[in-house]
A and B are shown apart, each in its own frame.
Chain A
């Protein structure tokens, strides 16, 4: 069968878009589900956070599986299983069973690392930033589309939404399996397959630069998915009076208003992610290295600097969101959220423009670690957001006590002028034995 890399990019992107649509469809209908089952605030928070429970471990396994078995088989399996369980959840009337089924559907979130591995196996170094950005950014839109479009199409009928989302996922699984090819060349495929072992995994996990990138992704994508689940509830509670004053008085109206305001973060973070990858490519082409401490002579040093800039902006943007919320202005909060979404896109796009270059022989394992463990942050942040003296101050706590140390660690880990991947908690000999 003849194929080419653009077709593979399209298959991966469409599959990923749909997985994200399924992943956050529960959050999009959480006000309806809460009203139907009379859920308390705590139960609603549990439902929101449950979307992310499977991601950390699931992404690690999926990253390894995509190196081992190839991305098409792994992605098709994820789509098929999640699709079938989503269909089943459409007919469920018991809340406990629905909760369990939606946790399984949330496994769709692991698909990200599979597609990252797939794209890395097809594109060259000088275009990897834009290619990964197009894949991840366009796919991520699924989350925002869920918040913005699904309540408008299906109203409060989440059963119908879950049925359609699941059925189409099964069709996409068949498409991925038939047309997907694991790598551009058999040699590239073989290298990834051979190095997908425990030693290779331990090697990647113990590198300081891999840990720094994982924390960078926790600051960007971890924050993005935490916000996807958190923001509809934040707006409906933190700005309840303002939304009522705008004329949204029913449950459906409140859901639409809160979802629309929340969607700005998801849309900007997702849709500008390809631009962030493009900027990483541009920094690389122009050789821009403006930040102190970070290495300046590495072949990919400008990409490290671009990511450093993104992390500083995310920290400032998150603190700014707390200030905007405390001011009580809905307009200012949405405006700051737009800026934060842009900064998050810089972080996500910048991180995965680097990962395939730092670990070219283990793209799935590296993507699984960096893209997987970092999602645990998506579970932790909402706890800080909800745990402050009021609903707005949690952003400031996260910015100061989590993001600031993460940025400092990134600067420290990215300071080596030669082979930063050689520095880690365990000796470099792990890589040699594994070669």
Chain B
């Protein structure tokens, strides 16, 4: 992999909050996937698929 020297970019303050929100969204995605996979095994028998 070619790697040219990193060019430092000064980010404005919003950027770190943007990245934090991005991580929060990844967490939601992982949770939804885990829940869906859990449901493929347990269906109605497991929380919170029970209704």
Interface hits, A113-167 → B, CB 8 Å: 126-127, 130-131, 133-134, 137-138, 141, 144, 148
- Chain B interface, DSSP helix/strand/loop, else mixed: helix
Given contacts A272-B26, A278-B22, A288-B1, contact A260 B35 (CB under 8 A): yes
Interface hits, A263-310 → B, CB 8 Å: 263-264, 267-268, 270-272, 274-275, 278, 285-290, 296
Chain A residues near B51 (CB-CB < 8 A):
253, 256
B43 and A130: CB pair below 8 A?
A: no
B22 and A288: CB pair below 8 A?
A: no
Count of residues in A whose CB is under 8 Å from the partner chain: 46
Chain B residues near A134 (CB-CB < 8 A):
18, 21-22
| Residue from the list B1, B11, B25, B43 in contact with A274, Cβ < 8 A | B25
| Residue from the list A247, A288, A334 in contact with B36, Cβ < 8 A | A334
Given the complex of chains A and B, what is the CA–CA distance between A148 and B7 in angstroms? 42
Chain B residues near A261 (CB-CB < 8 A):
36, 39-40
What per-residue 1/0 map shows which CB atoms of B1-41 lie under 8 Å from chain A? 11111110101101100110110011011001101110111
- Chain A interface, DSSP helix/strand/loop, else mixed: helix
Given the complex of chains A and B, what is the CA–CA distance between A130 and B22 in angstroms? 9
A290 and B26: CB pair below 8 A?
A: no
Chain B residues near A243 (CB-CB < 8 A):
43
B3 and A286: CB pair below 8 A?
A: yes
What per-residue 1/0 map shows which CB atoms of A313-342 lie under 8 Å from chain B? 000000000000000001100110010000
B residues sitting closer than 8 Å to A (CB atoms) are 1-7, 9, 11-12, 14-15, 18-19, 21-22, 25-26, 28-29, 32-33, 35-37, 39-45, 49, 51
Q: What are 7 A-B pairs at a CB distance below 8 A?
A: A243-B43, A247-B43, A260-B36, A260-B39, A271-B29, A274-B18, A290-B1
A residues sitting closer than 8 Å to B (CB atoms) are 5-6, 126-127, 130-131, 133-134, 137-138, 141, 144, 148, 242-243, 245-248, 253, 256-257, 260-261, 263-264, 267-268, 270-272, 274-275, 278, 285-290, 296, 330-331, 334-335, 338
